[in-house]
Amino acid sequence: MKIFETHAHYDDRAFREDRDRLLKKMNEEGVEYIVNIGCSMDSSRKITELVTQYDFLYGTVGVHPDDVKDLTEEDMGELEALSQRDKILAIGEIGLDYHYDDVERDVQKKWFVRQLAIAKQQELPVVIHSRDAAKDTLDIMKAEYDGKKGGVIHCFSYGVEMAREYLDRGYYLGIGGVVTFKNGRKLKEVVEYAPLDQMVLETDSPYLAPVPFRGKRNCSLYLTYVAEEIAGIKQVPVEEVLEITFHNARKLYKL
């Protein structure tokens, strides 16, 4: 069994006690690649160090929309430099999040556009976070990112119509624990609709653990539960889901 984890946050303090042991254990048990996703300047810095310690660990750098409030142009210079470091595969997670509306929408848009420019400049794919901001995200992606290097819409949370917009433009959809939730119907419909060769598996660890671990700390080994759910929806063997999504993830991140 080979698993490709496309989106996790092992730099998070939830893993401070057992990070090293857990990372090694997951790798021994079949998680062949892990991409650790940046969400702030601080995590982006940490990740460029963390990836040097494990063969199977790769990273991305970027600032999550919840964290863009105090960004400066100087930060963008640093982010661009960090994106050129070894084993950094993409810019992300970047995007728009109108769920809590903690950060003004115009401020979020400004830094989303700015980070997309870095991705274009560095010819890197993007990891997109978009929550309750479907139209603005798509409009900006269309206007500001040609998509030549592609990317993934992480933790895809919209319906089939919006999925089609991204699939038609060659993006991957990141599918995680939510697909196993009782109230995950919308995502199950998207999984039914989308081709398997445009999906990748992700946990968003430490968050969003699948059933039967819902509410607990997530980890990449639980991706088998996500794969099983997808296999059930698509009516294919779970091995096929793991195999195809593994291949997709390598294409997405150019590995």
Site residues (vs Ni ion, CB under 5 A): 204
CB of 35 to Ni ion, least distance (A): 11
CB of 69 to Ni ion, least distance (A): 18
C-alpha–C-alpha distance, residues 106 and 92, integer Å: 19
CB of 239 to Ni ion, least distance (A): 27
Contact (Cβ atoms closer than 8 angstroms) between residue 199 and residue 173: yes
Beta partners for residue 200, in sequence order: 174
Secondary element (H or E) of residue 127: strand 126-131
Nearer to Ni ion, 5 or 229 (CB): 5
Nearer to Ni ion, 204 or 229 (CB): 204
C-alpha–C-alpha distance, residues 170 and 153, integer Å: 11
Nearer to Ni ion, 46 or 232 (CB): 46
User: What is the number of the residue whose Cβ is closest to Ni ion?
Assistant: 204
Nearer to Ni ion, 181 or 193 (CB): 181
Residue 171 CA neighbour count, 13 Å, CB half: 25
CB of 7 to Ni ion, least distance (A): 6
Q: How many residues does the chain have?
A: 255
Nearer to Ni ion, 15 or 234 (CB): 15
Q: Which of 176, 241, 233 is closest to 209 using CA atoms? A: 176
CB of 37 to Ni ion, least distance (A): 5
Contact (Cβ atoms closer than 8 angstroms) between residue 147 and residue 141: yes
